[in-house]
């Protein structure tokens, strides 16, 4: 007795593709949307807490060592130079030792902080890519690829920069407190005078932060707009050139770049208003120290070394205050970028494994569309399939024929569960596809699309995409079956030839043959050919059909076709119209009994002739 096709007690499904070899992210983004963006990202920072803590600790140690130097300078002047109570060399050696130790700690700190920064960036990129890989087709139907690319690149960098370097800047700013403590130990009144400008700096910083956030959000959004235009123009360069629309696209890019330029100029204007105040108010403290400290020195109330130490501390404190403006700018840009990233991460895929989903193993290939109703998501879309009923026996080849827009390709998308039905069910071996794991379902259903996508890798890697561990001989057999071996061996490097982006260095027919070989190598029990030979000339198509006829003998095949030559491969033909099957039988039976079938074939032949004439031109 054979085992059931899908069962909790059956052998587990084993993926054909390679398991990932990279180290997965150590943590993810907190899913609680009520938290601030920084608290939601904190698990990633905590996952790298050891190197992060080391970097911040050594940074603080280096700054503390640096703060000691003005205090030693004060003592050297008052004790060694003015009072002659100690040798000057004693203080020189101490200052030199502190400088060396500070340099070592600063080196290790920077090394650790950069390692942490790039580790966090690695985690963020993989979190976003893993999430994008799980999203359903309906998500990609409404989201522009340029927007996704922008959020997965520039937005991630903004968040990473703030999450790692903002704490480092705050540690450096904390040196102001340590310096203030040393200033208090030298002279309390003068220390208070030196810090009188701090409340003003805080007030200006808060106002700067509130002003910059909306502009930062606009900048990131408009960067994404530019990325979208560039992405579409690069991918659609053949369409652009065929319509001589270069100037039109340049104007579109120029308009987007102008809007981005306005945002950047507005950002620069805000920084030009606030940053000088933040940076220079601390120097007002220096003026006050020189004024009141000089008065105290003149009247013998303060030593000369003390006022020099105060000046050194204030100059030391200017660096953190200069960085404060940059910190505010980074925080606003990071907050805007995080909001845009979370917009993606907070979306959930509509197509996921149900609780208790089982693996599809030893698939026999029985397919049943049970009164299926379906509309594409998004608004009041028209019904594509309505009461669609089709049963395909194991090993049977069925061709679906119909006018454009009648839902032929939709049938294939529902079988692979790219979308879920609104009504009814799609069953394989009696199991609702929604009750099967996605990985096992899609491993059992091979698809060859009418517009095959090839990756910018070797032809061998493209054919072996579904089975990366396949041997060269297995790849050759699949290519031979798809009648692709002849043109592959004529290429400069044969199977190791790198194809251009999307495979555009190959002809349409060559790309389709590679796609057919890719599906055949996986050897799925169910095969979908979605106009898979539409770009292949009739002579080559016949050779492919000869190979496909042998290979389809042992598998269930769904052929979405309009060519008579492709329809001839099928055991049975169904005619689809207005979302339902209106005729079912052999090609000869339908041609004789159904006028709509003859009309559809005639229109398809006319379209083929038009495409052929255009191709010759």
The rounded distance, in Å, linking the Cα atoms of 525 and 94 is 79
At residue 243, the pLDDT reads: 58
CA–CA gap between residue 296 and residue 306 (Å, rounded): 10
pLDDT in tens, 400-453: 998 888 888 899 899 999 899 999 999 999 999 999 998 889 888 888 877 778
**CB-based burial of residue 588 (10 Å sphere; 0-12 exposed, 13-18 middle, 19+ buried)?**
exposed
Q: What confidence score (pLDDT) does residue 377 get? A: 83
Whether pLDDT at 21 is above 80? no
Query: Token match 């976003």: residue?
Result: 128
pLDDT value, residue 535: 56
Q: Rounded to the nearest 5°, which phi and psi values hold at 460?
A: -60, -45
Q: Is the pLDDT of residue 95 over 70?
A: yes
Residue 403: per-residue pLDDT: 84
- What own/partner pairs with CB < 8 Å and gap ≥ 24 does 188-196 have? 189/292, 190/289, 190/292, 190/293, 190/296, 190/302, 190/306, 190/310, 191/310, 193/285, 193/288, 193/289, 193/292, 194/285, 194/286, 194/288, 194/289, 194/310, 194/313, 194/314, 195/285, 196/285, 196/288
Quick one: how far is CA 103 from the chain centroid? 38
What pLDDT score was predicted for residue 191? 80
Query: Is the distance from CB of 555 to CB of 526 less than 8 angstroms?
Result: yes
| HSE, side-chain direction, 13 A CA sphere, residue 589 | 9
> In 382-524, at which residue ranges do the beta strands (DSSP E only) sit?
385-392, 397-402, 423-428, 431-432, 445-448
Out of 176-180, 229-233, 523-527, pick the least confident. 229-233
Min mean pLDDT across 230-244, 456-470, 576-590 is at 230-244
Looking at per-residue confidence, does 615 or 171 come out higher? 171
Contact predicate 204/278, CB 8 Å: yes
pLDDT band at residue 13 under the 50/70/90 scheme:
low
Query: Which CATH number is 37-345's, of 1.20.1560.10, 3.40.50.300, 2.60.120.10, 3.90.930.12?
Result: 1.20.1560.10
Residue range 123-150, pLDDT digits in tens: 888 888 888 888 888 888 787 777 777 7
* Residues 155, 220 contacting (CB under 8 angstroms): yes
Reduce the DSSP state of residue 593 to 3 states and report it: helix
Distance, in Å, from the CA atom of 228 to the CA atom of 224, rounded to the nearest integer, reads: 6
Please report which confidence band the pLDDT of residue 8 belongs to, taking 50, 70 and 90 as the band edges.
Answer: very low
Q: Is residue 616 over pLDDT 60?
A: no
* Model pLDDT for residues 27-61, shown as the tens digit of each residue: 888 888 888 888 999 999 889 989 889 988 888 88
β-sheet bridge partners, residue 524: none
CB–CB of 194/159 below 8 Å?
no
Written in H, E and C, the secondary structure of 232-280 is: HHHHCHHHHHHCCCHHHHHHHHHHHHHHHHHHHHHHHHHHHHHHHHHHH
Two tokens at 5?
A: 């096709």
- The more confidently predicted of residues 272 and 279 is 272
pLDDT band at 366 (very low <50, low <70, confident <90, very high): very high
Confidence of residue 10 (pLDDT cuts 50, 70, 90): very low
Q: pLDDT tens for residues 276-334?
A: 777 677 677 777 877 887 778 777 777 777 777 777 777 777 666 667 667 777 887 88
CB pairs under 8 A, 24+ apart, for 137-144? 137/351, 137/413, 137/418, 137/419, 138/350, 138/376, 138/377, 138/378, 138/419, 139/347, 139/349, 139/350, 141/376, 141/377, 141/378, 142/378, 144/228
- Token match 């707009």: residue? 225
- Range 14-22, long-range pairs (CB < 8 A, 24+ positions): 15/439, 15/443, 16/443, 16/466, 16/467, 16/522, 17/466, 17/467, 17/468, 18/468, 18/469, 22/126
The residue that leads in pLDDT, 42 or 11, is: 42
Band the pLDDT of 367: cuts 50, 70, 90: very high
Position 276 scores a pLDDT of 76
User: In angstroms, how far apart are the furthest CA atoms of the chain?
Assistant: 120
For residues 387 and 494, what is the distance between their CA atoms, to the nearest angstrom?
49
- Does 250 have pLDDT greater than 90? no
pLDDT surpassing 60 at residue 18: no
Q: Quote the pLDDT of residue 426.
A: 94
18: its two tokens: 């390679």
Domain extents for the chain? 37-345, 367-616
b/e per residue, 126-136, with b = 16+ CB within 10 A? bbbeebbeebb
> Which tens digit of pLDDT belongs to each residue from 463-513?
988 888 889 999 998 888 888 888 888 888 888 988 876 676 787 778 888
% of the chain surpassing 70 pLDDT? 84
581 - beta bridge partners?
576
pLDDT of residue 379: 67
Alpha helices in 445-594 (DSSP H): 459-463, 472-481, 485-489, 508-522, 538-551, 564-567, 587-593
Superfamily name with CATH number, domain 367-616: P-loop containing nucleotide triphosphate hydrolases (3.40.50.300)
Two tokens at 351?
Answer: 């197509």
Which of left, alpha, beta for 395 (phi over 0: left; psi -120 to 50: alpha)? Answer: left
Does pLDDT of 15 surpass 60? no
Residue 64 has pLDDT above 90, yes or no: no
- What contacts 31, CB < 8 A, 6 or more positions away? 346
Question: Mean pLDDT of all residues in the chain?
Answer: 80
């Amino acid at each position: 007795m054979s085992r059931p096709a899908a069962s909790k007690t059956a052998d587990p499904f084993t993926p054909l593709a390679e398991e990932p070899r990279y180290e997965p992210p150590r943590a993810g983004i907190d899913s609680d949307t009520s938290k601030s963006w920084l608290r939601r990202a904190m698990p990633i920072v905590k996952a790298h807490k050891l190197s992060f803590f080391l970097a911040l600790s050594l940074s603080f140690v280096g700054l503390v060592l640096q703060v000691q130097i003005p205090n030693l300078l004060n003592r050297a002047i008052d004790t060694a130079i003015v009072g002659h109570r100690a040798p000057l060399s004693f203080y020189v050696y101490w200052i030199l030792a502190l400088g060396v130790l500070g340099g070592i700690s600063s080196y290790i700190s920077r090394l650790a902080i950069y390692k942490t920064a790039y580790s966090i960036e690695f985690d963020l990129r993989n979190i976003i890519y893993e999430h994008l890989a799980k999203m359903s087709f309906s998500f990609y139907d409404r989201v522009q690829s340029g927007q996704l690319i922008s959020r997965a690149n520039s937005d991630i960098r903004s968040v990473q920069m703030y999450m790692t370097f903002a704490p480092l800047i705050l540690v450096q700013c904390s040196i102001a407190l340590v310096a203030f403590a040393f200033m208090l130990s030298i002279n309390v009144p003068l220390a208070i005078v030196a810090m009188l400008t701090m409340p003003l700096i805080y007030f200006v910083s808060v106002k700067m932060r509130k002003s910059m956030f909306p502009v930062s959000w606009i900048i990131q959004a408009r960067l994404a707009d530019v990325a979208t235009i560039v992405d579409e123009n690069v991918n659609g360069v053949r369409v652009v050139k065929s319509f001589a629309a270069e100037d039109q696209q340049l104007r579109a890019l120029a308009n987007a770049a102008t809007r981005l330029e306005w945002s950047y100029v507005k950002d620069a204007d805000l920084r030009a208003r606030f940053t000088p105040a933040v940076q220079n108010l601390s120097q007002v403290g220096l003026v006050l120290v020189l004024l009141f400290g000089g008065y105290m020195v003149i009247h013998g109330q303060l030593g000369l070394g003390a006022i020099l130490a105060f000046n050194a501390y204030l100059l030391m404190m200017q660096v953190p205050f200069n960085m404060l403006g940059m910190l505010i700018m980074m925080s606003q840009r990071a907050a805007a970028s995080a909001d845009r990233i979370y917009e993606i991460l907070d979306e959930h895929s509509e197509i996921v494994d149900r609780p208790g989903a089982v693996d599809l193993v030893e698939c026999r290939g029985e397919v049943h569309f049970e009164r299926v109703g379906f509309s594409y998501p998004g608004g009041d879309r028209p019904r594509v399939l309505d009461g669609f009923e089709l049963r395909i026996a194991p090993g049977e080849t069925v061709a679906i024929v119909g006018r454009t827009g009648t839902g032929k390709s939709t049938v294939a998308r529902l079988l692979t569960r790219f979308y879920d039905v609104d009504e009814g069910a799609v069953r394989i071996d009696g199991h609702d596809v929604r009750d099967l794991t996605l990985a096992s379902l899609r491993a059992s259903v091979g698809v060859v699309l009418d517009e095959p996508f090839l990756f910018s890798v070797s032809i061998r890697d493209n054919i072996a995409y579904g089975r990366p561990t396949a041997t060269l001989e297995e790849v050759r057999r699949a290519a031979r079956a798809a009648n692709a071996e002849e043109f592959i061996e004529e290429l400069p490097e044969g199977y190791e030839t790198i194809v251009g982006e999307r495979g555009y260095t190959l002809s349409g027919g060559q790309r389709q043959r590679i796609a057919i070989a890719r599906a055949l190598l996986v050897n799925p029990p169910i095969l979908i050919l979605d106009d898979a030979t539409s770009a292949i000339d009739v002579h080559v198509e016949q050779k492919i059909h000869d190979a496909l006829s042998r290979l389809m003998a042992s598998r269930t095949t769904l052929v979405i076709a309009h060519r008579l030559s492709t329809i001839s491969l099928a055991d049975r033909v169904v005619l689809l119209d207005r979302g339902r099957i209106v005729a079912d039988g052999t090609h000869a039976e339908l041609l004789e009994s159904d006028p709509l079938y003859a009309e559809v074939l005639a229109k398809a032949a006319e379209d083929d002739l038009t495409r052929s004439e255009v191709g010759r031109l």
